[in-house]
Structure 1
């Protein structure tokens, strides 16, 4: 399956029967990010978390704590 990165517009091939391909076919709201873009975003997010000024809010964790 040919996929296009939403950030850098790079074209990649992924196996047709991989879980990622199935997710992209069945749920059109999900988008594909190439590994290099995903690594870059991960590094920048971790750098922001390390500063202490960035709060990483996860909704599911907050809802579990309320109960």
Structure 2
């Protein structure tokens, strides 16, 4: 299966029977990201987490969570 990275437009080939290929075929909302872009984004996210400027907003579950 040929897939295209949503960030850099690089075209890769993945196995037709892999779980990723099945997920991309059956759920069009999921998108493919190549390994280089994935590593770059995860590295920058980890750097933001380490700097202290990263806030993860999650829905409030109970009154005591805040």
- Same fold, judged at TM 0.5 (above): yes
Which TM-score applies when normalising by structure 1?
A: 0.84
- Aligned equivalents of 1:32, 1:20: Cα separation in 2: 9
Stretches of structure 2 that go unaligned for 5 or more consecutive residues are: none
Which TM-score applies when normalising by structure 2?
A: 0.86
Structure 2 residue matching 1:12: 3-state secondary structure: strand
> Alpha carbons of 1:58 and 1:14: their partners in 2 closer, same or farther (altered >3 Å)?
farther
Moved over 6 A (4+): none
The answer to which structure has the higher helix fraction is 1
Count how many residue pairs are aligned between Structure 1 and Structure 2: 63
Task: Quote how far apart the aligned CAs of 1:10 are.
Answer: 0.2
> Alpha carbons of 1:20 and 1:58: their partners in 2 closer, same or farther (altered >3 Å)?
farther
C-alpha RMSD over aligned residues: 1.6
